[in-house]
Amino acid sequence: MVDRYLRIRENLASIISTEDVLLLLTPVQEKGASDLLENFKKFQSVLKILQKETTTICEARVLFDEILIMYPVMRAYLSPIAKIVHSSFENAIAKIQNHRILTLTEDEEQQ
């Protein structure tokens, strides 16, 4: 819907009534909507890759790390030591697939 609005916004002013002009987004709101759409497209592309049957845990980890670079606020959800990751096994598999040395984090050592 945001995408559609941004595509037709220039033509809207000429086809709507004077009273309805107030319903149009301000330039600041349009910029926010445009930025939001770009972020959505990035997340959507990552989700499509994650849904492929051929995506490995290592590839998922790389995608998550790239998202963390762009959106550090997601660290609580996507970092290898996020509270929602309940398995050291997933981290170990990612390390093996990435040809990294298997080392234990402090949390893994305590388990």
For 23-81, the pLDDT digits (tens) are 778 889 989 989 999 999 999 999 999 899 898 888 888 898 899 999 999 888 888 77
Does residue 87 register a pLDDT over 60?
A: yes
From CA 5, how far away is CA 31, in angstroms rounded? 12
Please report how many Cα atoms fall inside a 13 Å half-sphere around the Cα of residue 34, on the Cβ side: 11
Query: 16 in helix, strand or coil?
Result: coil
